[in-house]
Amino acid sequence: MTIALTHLQRLEAESIHIFREVAAAFTKPVMLYSVGKDSSVLMHLAMKAFYPAKPPFPFLHVDTTWKFREMIAFRDQMAQKLGFDLLVHVNEDGVRDNINPFDHGSNTHTHVMKTVALRQALDKYGFDAAFGGARRDEEKSRAKERIFSFRNAQHVWDPKNQRPEMWKIFNTRIASGESIRVFPLSNWTELDIWQYILQENIPIVPLYFAKERPVVERDGMLILRDDERMKLRPGETVENRLVRFRTLGCYPLTGAIESDADTLEAIVGEMLTARTSERQGRLIDRDEAGSMEKKKREGYF
């Protein structure tokens, strides 16, 4: 008898294995939930891994207060529907100082509202392991990261000194205060993600589908004006254009693409002929040389 697993079945089994390993070996894990498509897949896999039980850990959303409104609505609806424990953390220091992407730039904004906020939340609850949805095909420094990625007590990643990671035998041992970031989707590609969403009927934020939306052209990117906090510069106008998003972050930092793909099949079809990578729409990857690695070393996911 032979049961040959398909490519997606192999990826799914690997991810489930990783989820269970963390649940068995750590005292206080958490899943970082960023509301994007990768988070949707991650959440689906977590539900599968522990069925018939619910995932034995809470989901944490680090809210920069600049996420698309549709993302927040989707987040709350999923939490209610699946019944998981949702924690939302906002860096109140950043809110008090009115840190925002327009006045402070993407770099400072991301550092304060995302990286520092994440560290605050991890320290506040004392989580010793945190799942993230990062994939190795996304970015060069991510291609180098282990599935179980060690962080010292200051949440720092040392890319030059990573633990060897042999077979599926994961070293889950840490000293007090240290933690591990865990990436169950490490070996998935963007195409695998979409294919799996299609196969499993996984709900995703509607922003991924093309629709007429009010956008402003700025610095070569199409920015959706999600609320009044985005002030128009001289000469800028808001136009309704048929756009969608390949990736979702803070709305002022995430470029839309012109597209009429309003079904999953059309999205996959568009991706197969795409000539730019998905992170091209992310301002934060480009704001300084080697910037993703630098952010990751500071504690960004």
Partner 1 sequence: MRHIMAKSLAPTDGVRDYLAAQEKKSLLRFLTCGSVDDGKSTLIGRLLSDTKQIFEDQLAALERDSRKHGTTGDDIDFALLVDGLEAEREQGITIDVAYRFFATPKRKFIVADTPGHEQYTRNMATGASTADLAIVLIDARQGVLPQTRRHSIIASLLGIRHIVLAVNKIDLVGFDQAVFERITEAYGQFSRDLGFQTIVPIPMSARYGDNVTSRSDSMAWYSGPTLIEHLETVSVEEAVVELPFRFPVQYVNRPNLDFRGFAGTIASGSVAQGDEVVVAKSGKSSRVKRIVSYGGDLARAAAGQAITLVLDDEVEISRGNMLVSPAARPQVADQFAANIVWFDEHALLPGRSYILRTETDQTSATVTDLKYRINVNDFAHEAAKSLDMNEVGICNISTRTPIAFDTFAENRTTGAFILIDRISNATVGAGMILHSLRRAENIHWQSLDVGKRVRADMKNQRPAVFWFTGLSGSGKSTIANLFEKKLFATGRHTYILDGDNVRHGLNRDLGFTDADRVENIRRVAEVARLMADAGLIVIVSFISPFSAERRMARELMADGEFIEVFVDTPFEECARRDPKGLYARALNGEIKNFTGVDSPYEAPEKPEIHLKTLGKSAEQMVDALEHWLNERDIAEDQYDNGGGI
Q: Find the binding residues for partner 1 in span 275-294 (CB under 8 A).
A: 275-277, 280, 290, 293-294
* Residue 173 found at the interface with partner 1 (CB under 8 A): yes
- Give the x/- contact pattern for partner 1 in 209-228, rule: CB under 8 A: x-------------------
**Interacting positions 39-68 with partner 1 (CB under 8 A):** 47-54
Q: How far is CA 165 from the centre of its chain?
A: 23
Residue from 1, 98, 176, 219 binding partner 1 (CB under 8 A): 1
Residue from 90, 189, 238, 242 binding partner 1 (CB under 8 A): 189
Q: Provide, rounded to whole angstroms, the least separation between the CB of residue 90 and partner 1.
A: 22
Residue from 41, 122, 129, 197 binding partner 1 (CB under 8 A): 197
* Residue 177 found at the interface with partner 1 (CB under 8 A): no
Tell me the two tokens of residue 196.
Answer: 């799996």
Residue from 143, 153, 156, 232 binding partner 1 (CB under 8 A): 143
CB-based contacts of 291-295 (< 8 A; 24+ apart in sequence): 291/107, 292/139, 292/140, 292/141, 292/142, 293/140, 293/141, 293/159, 295/110, 295/111, 295/115
Which of 110, 141 has the CB closer to partner 1?
141
Closest CA to 129 of 158, 164, 170: 170
Contact in structure between 60 and 32 (CB atoms under 8 Å): yes
* Residue 231 found at the interface with partner 1 (CB under 8 A): no
Residue from 85, 165, 239, 298 binding partner 1 (CB under 8 A): 165
* Residue 171 found at the interface with partner 1 (CB under 8 A): yes
Tell me the two tokens of residue 51.
Answer: 């069925």
Q: Provide, rounded to whole angstroms, the least separation between the CB of residue 279 and partner 1.
A: 8
Contact in structure between 210 and 226 (CB atoms under 8 Å): no
* Residue 3 found at the interface with partner 1 (CB under 8 A): yes
Q: SS3 string of 28-82?
A: CEEEECCCCHHHHHHHHHHHHHHCCCCCCCCEEEECCCCECHHHHHHHHHHHHHH
Q: For partner 1, how many residues bind (rule: CB under 8 A)?
A: 83
All residues at 6 or more sequence positions from 82 whose CB lies less than 8 Å from its CB, including other chains: 43, 47, 54
Which of 18, 60 has the CB closer to partner 1?
18
Closest CA to 26 of 142, 151, 166, 167: 151
Tell me the two tokens of residue 72.
Answer: 């927040």
**Interacting positions 251-270 with partner 1 (CB under 8 A):** 263-266, 268-269
Of 31-39, 87-95, 110-118, 156-164, the segment contacting partner 1 by CB under 8 A is: 156-164
